[in-house]
Amino acid sequence: MYSIDPVPLSHDGPSDIALWRIDIDFTASLDAPAFASLSDDECTRARTFRRREDALRFASIRVALREQLALRLDIAAHAVRFALDVNLRPHLADSNRFDFNVSHAGAHGLIAISPVRRVGVDIEQHSDRFAWHSIAALTLDPEEAAWIGRLDAGQQSAAFYDAWVAKEALVKTTGVGITRGLRHLTVLPRESKRVALRHQIPDDMRDVAAHWLAAPDGYAACVAWSATAFP
């Protein structure tokens, strides 16, 4: 019988953050019992995706998230209810005991949950056809773009993805930074697993930290968290 089995991941962040990787099976059927915990709205949303792969990514991650939250809330997975805050960031509708965040790309997804702090994750799949220069002005500080440009051609794309996942994880932790774009954060050059925010640090990022994660071949990933407890 088909099942969705999250893989626990180690990381260098606070011990209260639980992190998992979900490996997507694109041969699965949305009618499988493994997806029974989805709400009617989630089932409808899954079936509106034009591409089967997108539907299975969404459904698989949501099921895994429901199951992990249900274990912590001591309720049934189908009873977990979600809502959106003013920044359209998902949260638990009936409890503020846990914060969570998800991301998916290609054949993998990430879930982070904490009972203490806000969390953010991002995973991206490298693409040989992607020209990072085309969105550099929207995502990179000019000094970051110049630094990547000085790398060997074979290293440039990977460096861009490192910057992308770090910035996405950071702004997803607060929810606010997304509306300001990614250029206001400077995370390159990368010197270790720890993401170092460089130059002037925006006020909404002074309480946030992040580490890059070991990712499957051809992927980049990052987890971020707030230093203090969420409301």
- Structural domain contains residue 2: no
* pLDDT at 179 > cutoff 60: no
Query: Hey, what amino acid is at 25?
Result: D
- Structural domain contains residue 207: yes
11 and 112, same domain (yes or no): yes
* pLDDT at 106 > cutoff 70: yes
Q: Number of folded domains in the chain?
A: 2
Check if the beta carbon of residue 116 is closer than 8 Å to that of residue 100: no
Percent of the chain exceeding pLDDT 90 equals 75
Per-residue confidence (pLDDT) for residue 200, from 0 to 100: 75
Per-residue confidence (pLDDT) for residue 231, from 0 to 100: 61
φ, ψ at 41 (rounded to 5°): -65, -40
64 and 138, same domain (yes or no): no
Domain of 146, in residue numbers: 122-229
- Structural domain contains residue 44: yes
CA trace torsion 56, 72, 7, 11 (10° rounding): 120
Name the residue with higher pLDDT: 74 or 85: 74
- Structural domain contains residue 1: no
Final residue of a structural domain among 116, 132, 152: 116
CATH number of the domain where residue 190 is located: 3.90.470.20
* pLDDT at 37 > cutoff 90: yes
Indicate yes or no: pTM above 0.85: yes
- Structural domain contains residue 25: yes
31 and 111, same domain (yes or no): yes
- Taking the C-alpha atoms of residue 180 and residue 169, their distance in angstroms, rounded to an integer, is 14
Half-sphere exposure of 195 (CA within 13 A, CB side): 29
* pLDDT at 201 > cutoff 80: no
Final residue of a structural domain among 116, 131, 161: 116
DSSP codes, 139-199:
HS-HHHHHHHHTS-HHHHHHHHHHHHHHHHHHHHHHSSGGGG-STT----S--SSB----S
Final residue of a structural domain among 116, 138, 166: 116
Name the residue with higher pLDDT: 181 or 167: 167
- Structural domain contains residue 137: yes
Check if the beta carbon of residue 156 is closer than 8 Å to that of residue 209: no
DSSP codes, 106-132:
TTEEEEEEESSEEEEEEEEE--TT--G
CA distances to 25, 35, 67 from 2, in Å: 9, 10, 15
Q: Which of 173, 162, 171, 159 is nearest to 214 (CA)?
A: 162
18 and 76, same domain (yes or no): yes
User: Who's near 68: CB < 8 A, 6+ residues apart?
Assistant: 6, 18, 20, 111, 113
Banded model confidence at residue 86, pLDDT cuts 50, 70, 90: confident
- Structural domain contains residue 98: yes
